[in-house]
Structure 1
Amino acid sequence: MSESNWGRWGPDDERGTLNLLAPEAVRAAVACVREGRTLSLSLPIRGATSSPAPATVPHLRGRPLPQHFMSVDAGDYAAGARPIGAGLRMADDAIVVTPHGTTTHMDALCHMWAGDELYNGHPAGRVRSYGATRCGIDKAGPVVGRGVLFDVPRLRGVRHLAAGDRVPAADLAACGAEIRSGDIAVVRTGWPLTWEDSPEAYWAGQPGLSAGAGRWLADRDVAMVACDNAAIGGLNERQLADEDLGDDLHLILLWRHGIHLAEMLWLEDLAATGRTEFLFVAAPLVIEGGTASPINPLAIL
């Protein structure tokens, strides 16, 4: 497999390996559905402007938390909000979310790069404060394909991996899941379970894929990599990656291979089913020039 997917789908490509999810791949993925049961793989977006609710959901320390508040509610009615019609009232709300590090989300190909070029050689100067005019999340489109679960804690016989764990390619291979070109690789570390112990436990670092595991997945031509940790790769206690640029997972997957990433999934319900193959469905919001979007990934069994 090439060290890069630049030029593989032409000089104007902004979707990377999502190009692999052609109609025939989607039709083949539907064959994974045997029960018709659907599971959400998303953490909740829980927030308010005047309560500690966001702190009850895993997130990286210091990141702006989701803000969700009612813009029209009973208090507004008491202040004289107009009724819609005879006997009818309306509630409305507003939400502010910074996806990276605070909720289940999908990274765009413009999220990270090295030098002066984005994925596929697009100029990095196209990423500005008003958004990215190249490789934004609005270019990704819906993701529908065969999901494959790599349950590393189950392989090792532990509840969750340790903060310092960097999953080698050998562990992914040992999970026994058959991986094919165009699959969505879903990797469980179990790390969200540490939030039940305390935020400090969650913030002590995070397990993740090693650079070798990232290359192993890229060599198998996956369409997307999704994980229940916050960065696909591991993080130290300062919530930073220790790898150098050559081994950085975001650069290996997003930048070199055009593989979109989905982070901070909730995989415990899926893991409990014992299923390793399923139909994976996710759709990012069409945020023009966005570096990411909240998603609610689904596993259809």
Structure 2
Amino acid sequence: MIHEPNNWGRFGPDDQRGTLNLLTPSVVLDALRSATTGEVLNLALPIRGATSSPAPGTVPHLPGRPLPQHFMSVDGGDYAAGARPIGPGLRVADDALLVSHHGTTTHMDALCHMWSGDELYNGHPAARVRSYGATRCGIEHAGGVVARGVLFDVPRHLGLGHLPAEHRVSAGELAAIATPRPGDVAVVRTGWPLVWERSREEYWSGQPGLSAEAGRWLAGHDVAAVACDNAAVGGLDGRGMSQEPVEDDLHLLLLHRHGIHLIEMVWLEELAARGRTDFVFVAAPLRIEGGTGSPLSPLAIL
């Protein structure tokens, strides 16, 4: 059992949803009041892919990860021998999608994605994570997420277009922007995806992200989830690794100790341009039984 403040046992000994339990009907109804104009923004990066094509590599991703592949059955060049007929003069095209979402596209991490020792979040046995999937804390337990989103636009607060790669967002910087309520989704903008179009090498040189102090601050405010436009919520060095001590690793701190789902690689530029701090945040991960995460298309309703 971990000794640092945590949410183990808080929602019952069998809990596999963590702080998503805070999204009670009354909290959800209150969150819906954050919508005032009805404008809907998609916060997902595009998934591009094709056989023998460079398309998947044109979207921000971490190097060395299997990129998404999108196969079509239209001209016989992909996974099937052409579009299949369904009637006289009628044909239909099919798709197949292969996605290793961690580090390659917008996604939500399940509570089984990271653990320490032999226990998952809430003391569930880590031995239940096997090659066929996790029988504890899989992404299928997350369910739909409807919450008040709170945008922490840190670069704007600091007068920058994007944060430098070495920047670690402090709790004080978050507190100067907003104070989340229990059940909110904290959405943190670093602006780092903008670097991708300027230089792939610079994008891969490291990434700004939350400090452990900021992670503890968000956990202390009982957020339901944390979403960020970088690839790991916490910062990364040039090897794609966290530089913090193990006890300060953001995945262990938030997923493992507090049961706070992480949403990574969101696209926040249009949302930031609207100048809104609060909005309705909607996300529905795929019900992948035993999945360590799921591709995601989060929505912001303004």
* 1:83 Cα deviation after fit: 1.9
Q: Distance in 1 between matches of 2:84 and 2:63?
A: 41
Q: Is the 8 A contact 2:83 2:92 kept in 1?
A: no
> RMSD of aligned C-alpha atoms?
1.5
Per-residue displacement from partner, 1:136-185 (whole Å, max 9, x unpaired)? 0011101110000000000011110011000100100111x231011000
**Correspondence for 1:88 among 65, 68, 90:** 90
How do residues 240-255 of structure 1 correspond to structure 2 at under 5 angstroms?
Answer: 240-255=241-256
Alignment-mate amino acid for residue 105 of structure 2: T
Partner secondary structure for residue 85 of structure 2: coil
Contact 2:46–2:59 (CA under 8 A) maintained in structure 1: yes
TM-score by length of 2: 0.96
Report the residue type matching 2:118 in the other structure: D
Aligned residue among 32, 35, 38 for 1:33: 35
Q: Does 1:196 align with 2:193?
A: no
Counterpart of 2:11? Answer: 9
SS in 2 for 1:154: helix
Letter in structure 2 aligned against 1:44:
P
Equivalent residue letter for 2:289: E
> Residue 272 in 1 paired to residue 273 in 2?
yes
1:286 is aligned to 287
State the distance in 1 between where 2:267 and 2:189 align: 9
Q: Deviations for 1:81-128, whole angstroms, at most 9, x for unmatched residues?
A: 652111111101111000100000000000001011000000000000
Question: Per-residue CA shift, 1:240-277, capped at 9, x if unaligned?
Answer: 00111111101110000000000000000000000000
Kindly provide the amino acid, as one letter, of the partner of residue 233 in structure 1. Answer: G
> Which structure 2 residues correspond to residues 27-66 of structure 1 after superposition, within 5 A?
27-66=29-68
The 1:85/1:217 distance shift into structure 2, 3 A limit, reads same
Indicate the residue corresponding to 1:223 in structure 2. Answer: 224
Change in Cα spacing, 1:79 to 1:167, as seen in structure 2 (3 Å) is closer
SS at match of 2:27: helix
Q: Aligned with 1:109: secondary structure? A: coil
Q: Which amino acid aligns with 1:49?
A: T
SS in 2 for 1:83: strand
Could you list the structure 1 runs, at least 4 aligned residues long, displaced by more than 3 angstroms after superposition.
Answer: 78-82
Looking at structure 2, the residues matched to 109 and 15 of structure 1 have their Cα atoms a distance apart, in angstroms, of 8
Structure 1 residue 80: deviation in Å? 7.2
Give matches, 1:64-79, under 5 Å. Answer: 64-70=66-72, 72-75=73-76
Unaligned 5+ segments in structure 2 are none
1:167 aligned onto 2:132:
no
Whole-Å Cα distance in 2 between the matches of residues 3 and 245 of structure 1?
16
Is the 8 Å Cα contact of residues 83 and 93 (structure 2) preserved in structure 1?
no
Residue 300 of structure 2 is matched in structure 1 by 299
Q: Percent identity?
A: 72
- The aligned length equals 298
Report the equivalent of 1:181. Answer: 182
1:52/1:81 CA distance change after superposition, 3 Å: closer
CA distance in 2, matches of 1:190, 1:230: 12
